[in-house]
């Protein structure tokens, strides 16, 4: 795939692959939260007709390739490699923007929801070291653009499903947070469900009591939870170690004095799941963490 071919991929499809969904939608345009920072008011204007975006906060114009480069912090070659996954999804679509919008607005059908049984999905969960946490997951079989797919499904509170497998990262249905309530006065907040599952695997070792949990399913959903967390006595934050994660932590801590940045647990890693995959949980980092943050 070259740049000219990549720029024909529907921009909405690419943004959805990163779990980014519009906050305000019009027939031909929409506003999204920024690609490179956390904000309360969406500033990224996306034009579905021209297939481009403009960030009113920074004055930066984006095309399909530069969107991927910004989010993944990668080269053009790496961005094109990422975009290859969409080649079969749009090659048969007409260039008419209204037809593209129609195809994308209802381009899938969920055929089956069941317990995870497929060997490929179980192996993928094993590679992420969360294969023992299937109680929170489903195996989802769905049809999209005339083809059959399946993946690991994690349900959100808007009746949508976050879908993951070794090759794709999408959301079926409406984007939303996932809240798990246990009647606790403490809450733990995670960016993605793999980080939540990773924490459940070390919760006992860290001598942490079960709490309530919020999984954002995208850091852009952070504005949706402010009212939900105000009455908790303790708020623990487990975001990614990147600029978006930093801003998310800062935003919540500015409005909640009892919020605590708990990323010391995986300070040298991209996120909590990355730490779990690469490290033995029984090392000195975790011992230091327990002595400092144990509750």
Burial of 12 (0-12, 13-18, 19+ CB in 10 A): buried
Q: How far apart are the first and last CA of the chain?
A: 51
- Fold agreement between 3-105 and 178-293: no
Token readout for 9 is: 């991929």
Sequence-separated contacts (24+) of 168-171 with Cβ below 8 Å: 168/17, 168/85, 169/17, 169/18, 169/19, 170/16, 170/17, 170/19, 171/16, 171/19, 171/21, 171/217
Superfamily grouping for domain 3-105: Zinc finger, CHC2-typedomain (3.90.580.10)
Q: Which residues 6+ apart lie within 8 Å of 183 measured at CB?
A: 212
Domain assignments of the chain as residue spans, ordered by start: 3-105, 108-172, 178-293
> For position 91, what pLDDT does the model report?
46
A 10 A CB-CB count for 74 gives 14
> For position 95, what pLDDT does the model report?
40
Answer whether 0.75 is exceeded by the pTM. Answer: no
**With a cut of 50, which residues of the chain have pLDDT below it?**
89-106, 284-285
> For position 93, what pLDDT does the model report?
41
Q: pLDDT tens, 33-43?
A: 888 887 778 88
> For position 283, what pLDDT does the model report?
57
**CATH architecture label of 178-293:** 3-Layer(aba) Sandwich (3.40)
Q: pLDDT tens, 216-258?
A: 998 878 878 988 898 999 999 999 998 888 888 988 998 899 9
Beta-carbon-side half-sphere exposure of residue 171 (alpha carbons within 13 Å): 27
> For position 248, what pLDDT does the model report?
87
């Amino acid at each position: 795939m070259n740049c000219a071919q990549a720029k024909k991929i529907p921009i909405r499809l690419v943004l959805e692959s990163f779990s980014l969904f519009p906050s305000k939608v019009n027939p031909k345009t929409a506003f999204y939260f920024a690609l490179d920072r956390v904000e309360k008011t969406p500033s990224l204007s996306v034009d579905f007709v021209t297939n481009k975006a403009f960030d009113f906060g920074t004055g930066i114009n984006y095309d399909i390739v530069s969107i991927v480069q910004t989010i993944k912090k990668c080269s053009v070659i790496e961005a094109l490699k990422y975009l290859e996954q969409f080649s079969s999804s749009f090659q048969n679509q007409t260039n008419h923007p209204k037809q593209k919008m129609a195809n994308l607005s209802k381009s899938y059908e969920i055929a089956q929801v069941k317990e995870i049984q497929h060997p490929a999905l179980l192996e993928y969960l094993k590679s992420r070291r969360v294969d023992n946490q299937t109680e929170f997951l489903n195996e989802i079989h769905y049809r999209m653009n005339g083809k059959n797919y399946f993946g690991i499904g994690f349900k959100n509170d808007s009746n949508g499903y976050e879908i993951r497998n070794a090759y794709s990262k999408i959301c079926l249905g409406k984007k939303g947070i996932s809240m798990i309530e246990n009647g606790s006065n403490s809450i733990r907040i995670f960016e993605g469900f793999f980080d939540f599952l990773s924490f459940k695997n070390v919760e006992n070792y860290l001598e942490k009591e079960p709490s309530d949990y919020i999984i954002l399913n995208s850091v852009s959903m952070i504005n949706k939870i402010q009212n939900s967390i105000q009455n908790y006595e303790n708020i623990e934050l487990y975001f990614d170690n990147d600029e978006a994660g930093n801003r998310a932590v800062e935003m919540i801590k500015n409005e909640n004095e009892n919020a605590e940045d708990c990323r010391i647990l995986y300070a040298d890693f991209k996120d909590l799941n990355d730490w779990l995959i690469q490290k033995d949980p029984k090392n000195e980092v975790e011992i230091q963490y327990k002595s400092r943050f144990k509750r």
